[in-house]
Structure 1
Amino acid sequence: MTAYWVAQGVGVLAFVVGITTFVNRDERRFKLQLAGYSAIIGIHFFLMGASPAGMSAELNAIRTVISLRTRSLWVMGIFIALTLGLGLSKFNHAMELLPIFGTVASTWALFRCKGLTTRCVMWCSTACWVTHNFWLGSIGGTLIEGSFLVMNGLNIIRFWRMQRRGIDPFKVEKEVQQQEG
């Protein structure tokens, strides 16, 4: 088996891990599953020779776990600076800016947003990633990010409709935060 197909296999594994991420209404489970997916897809990108995307994905994994413990502006700033510094130092094509921009946007969302707003910003970040992955030729990456785009989009609509009917789709999350706080 060639290195290319090993890389594609890791991308498909990431697809399997990440497929249900955006269905979670519990913020903690959402972030942990997103971190696991990011770590695996980062390995896929390194194997595909896409270092800026690999670095962004691995930073995504670390950042997502840390965002469970703090929403500090300083920590957010460090991750944004790392993403820009590492990503911009290695990019060779304008399309490689998309995962960098997507990572900056999702970093901001995870540290500064909650609930539906988080998912909306993450949807925009996903649009950057799916475009990049298609350009790169990443089968698993394109499948998963395309799935994220559709699933998160449908869940955004579903959660928005729930809110319009007076139902708080993130009530479970708020109750857990109150018990922890």
Structure 2
Amino acid sequence: MDLYWIAQAVGVMAFAVGITMFFNRSERRFKLQLSLYSAVIGCHFFLMGANAAGTSAVLNALRTVISTRTRSIVVMFIFIALTLVLGVSRINHLIEILPITSTVVSTWALFRTRGLTTRCIMWCSTCGWVIHNIWLGSIGGSLIEGSFLIMNGVNIIRFRRLQLRGIDPFETENKAVPVSKR
């Protein structure tokens, strides 16, 4: 098996990891799975020779893991600054502003929002990536981000319907459940 097919297999693994993350109601598991997806897709990009995309994806993975430990505005601004410095310096076409903007917005969301708000902002961020990837002609990137758009959109509607029925879909699932008496 040559490197091209290994890279494609890693891309399919990233797709499998990413497509299921929006089912998570747990904020922490959602973010950890998002981070795992970013790391795997970063490896895919490196194997494909797309080093800038690989670097960006790995930076996103690190950002997402750190956002599970802190909601510090300083840390958020460090990641936004890194995204702007590394991204804006590499713009060759105006449309390349979309992924940079999407990354900045999703960074803000991961550090400053929770629950349905996070998912809605991530959905908007994904729109920017889909448009960019279609423009770029990235079949795998378009399919993965397009799938994220659909899956997250469906789950946003599902979670909102639960909220309208008075159910908090983001309530901690790990609450202690009393053991029934025998």
TM-score by length of 2: 0.86
1:143, CA displacement in angstroms?
1.4
Between 1 and 2, higher relative CO (CA 8 Å, sep ≥ 6) is seen in 1
1:8, CA displacement in angstroms?
3.8
Change over 3 Å in CA distance of 1:50–1:128 after alignment to 2: farther
Which has the larger share of helix? 1
Count matched residues.
176
CA deviation string 1:50-87 (max 9, x = no partner): 55543332211000000010000000000000000011
Matching of residue 162 in structure 1 with residue 162 in structure 2: yes
The aligned runs of 1:64-143 (5 Å cut-off) are 64-143=64-143
1:131, CA displacement in angstroms?
1.6
The one-letter amino acid of 2:94's match is A
Kindly report the root-mean-square deviation, in angstroms, between the aligned alpha carbons of the 2 structures. 2.2
Change over 3 Å in CA distance of 1:4–1:139 after alignment to 2: farther
Which residue of structure 2 lines up, in the alignment, with residue 60 of structure 1?
A: 60
CA deviation string 1:12-36 (max 9, x = no partner): 2211221101110001110111001
Could you say what secondary structure the match of 1:121 adopts?
A: helix
Rounded to whole Å, the distance in 2 between the matches of 1:97 and 1:43 is: 23
Which 5+ residue runs of structure 2 have no aligned equivalent? Answer: 177-182
More deviation, 42-51/164-173: 42-51
Aligned-pair identity in percent equals: 72
CA deviation string 1:88-112 (max 9, x = no partner): 1122222322221111011000000
Change over 3 Å in CA distance of 1:68–1:124 after alignment to 2: same
CA deviation string 1:124-167 (max 9, x = no partner): 11111112222223222211111110010011111111111111
Could you say what secondary structure the match of 1:74 adopts?
A: helix
Rounded to whole Å, the distance in 2 between the matches of 1:55 and 1:88 is: 14
Which residue of structure 2 lines up, in the alignment, with residue 30 of structure 1?
A: 30
Change over 3 Å in CA distance of 1:57–1:49 after alignment to 2: same
The one-letter amino acid of 2:146's match is G
Larger radius of gyration: 2
Which 5+ residue runs of structure 1 have no aligned equivalent? Answer: 177-181
The aligned runs of 1:1-12 (5 Å cut-off) are 6-12=6-12
Contact 1:162 1:169 in 2 (8 A): yes
Contact 1:12 1:139 in 2 (8 A): no
Could you say what secondary structure the match of 1:171 adopts?
A: coil
The one-letter amino acid of 2:131's match is T
